[in-house]
Amino acid sequence: MDYRSLGRTGMQVSPLCLGAMMFGAWGEPDHETSIGIIHRALDAGINFIDTADVYSQGESEIIVGKALAGGRREDVILATKFHAPMDVPMGQSGGDPNRRGNSRRWIVQEVENSLRRLGTDWIDLYQVHRPEQNTDVEETLSALTDLLRQGKIRALGSSTFPAHLVVEAQWTAEKRALGRFATEQPPYSLLARGVEADLLPVAEQYGMGVLPWSPLAGGWLTGKYRKGQGAPTSQRSERVPARYDLSHPDNQRKLDAADALAVLAEETGISLVHLALAFVLQHPAVTAPIIGPRTMEHLESQLGAQDVTLSTAVLDRIDEIVPPGVTLSRVDEGYVPPALDNPFLRRRRTT
């Protein structure tokens, strides 16, 4: 497998990154089965694993740590993330407001928890899982810079940051002589192309590694979503129903596009999974899309996508089905800007 530079960190990573979100209660609850999938990925040449503290409330990190025990840790570029609440289940309200977020207080506490769960002395890439309006980015970068100097992390990155916040973080790092985000992890797929308009060019400008999440659009690009067929059910569709409810017009547009892309894949002679991954891989800004298998079959269907090259004619057909820069459903963007979430931020107050 050919390896790629992870931004300007000097680290070399495989063009596919193994995502561990589906290992644990959110996906495959059997640890030995999950470990077997991780080992198969490593044996296939993948040397890059991405997880997060919030995945199954820490269980995913524990599984990854078990898989890398016994001498495999040295061979892996290991990434994890922080931000989401860790004392209440995902999607539930309540809990301690200081056991989450991007503050120094939480970062210095949670990095120790992740290190313990992962069974390692260092994290190669420590990422802010989402922006946070009420925490100054300088506060976050300052805490992460201290962790860099202590040797607990090797590089830092962001995830699902809009382009203007990426620029702000880069500017702050330069002006305050702090560590900078070396990577960005955006949503990017054949059905969610919004980042092509500004985020990907900005990442290229700053020499950042780009690690797209959900390159298969949360399962929409596996071939299971076809017109005339019933929508499949999964734990993921139950956890985030807005992404899969076919009564919503956005998801109907996704179904139309997924069906047309499946036909194109058949005409091209490759699987839809390989078409989807190869498309993301061919963008010049992209380092490694994150694949998130739940089963060994899922993993096997995705391996080899790095060797597929799409012709100009195929890429042109894709642009006809989903135009460049278009995301068919806002839910797939993974982040709601505060000005859209809070109406008082976009309405002038009147007496």
Q: Write the DSSP string, 130-157.
A: S--TTS-HHHHHHHHHHHHHHTSBS-EE
Phi-psi region of 349 (alpha: psi -120 to 50; beta: other; left: phi over 0): beta
pLDDT averaged over the chain? 95
β-pair type (290-291, 12-13): unpaired
Q: CA dist 299 to 48, 95, 108, 147, 273, Å? A: 14, 35, 34, 33, 11
Q: How many alpha carbons lie under 13 Å from residue 6 in its C-beta half-sphere?
A: 28
Q: Where are the domains of the chain?
A: 4-342
Model pLDDT, residue 21: 97
**pLDDT tens profile 86-115:** 998 877 888 999 999 999 999 999 999 999
Model pLDDT, residue 172: 98
**pLDDT tens profile 141-198:** 999 999 999 999 999 999 999 999 999 999 999 999 999 999 999 999 999 999 999 9
**pLDDT tens profile 300-330:** 999 999 999 999 999 999 999 999 999 999 9
Tell me, what amino acid is at 95?
Answer: G
For residue 234, pLDDT over 80 is answered with: no
pLDDT band at 351 (very low <50, low <70, confident <90, very high): low
Model pLDDT, residue 178: 98
**pLDDT tens profile 52-90:** 999 999 999 999 999 999 999 999 999 999 999 999 887
Q: Calculate mean pLDDT across residues 199-214.
A: 98
For residue 291, pLDDT over 90 is answered with: yes
User: What positions carry a catalytic annotation?
Assistant: 55
Model pLDDT, residue 247: 86
Per the confidence metrics, is the pTM higher than 0.85? yes
Please state, in angstroms and rounded to a whole number, the distance separating the CA atoms of residues 85 and 99: 6
Q: Calculate mean pLDDT across residues 235-251.
A: 83
What percent of the chain lies above the pLDDT cut of 90? Answer: 87
4-342 CATH fold: TIM Barrel (3.20.20)
Residues 6+ apart with CB under 8 A from 75: 42, 47
β-pair type (48-50, 17-19): parallel
- Starting at the earlier edge strand, list the strands of the sheet with 209-210: 209-210, 181-185, 156-159, 125-128, 77-82, 48-50, 17-19, 290-291
pLDDT band at 348 (very low <50, low <70, confident <90, very high): confident
Please state, in angstroms and rounded to a whole number, the distance separating the CA atoms of residues 290 and 312: 24
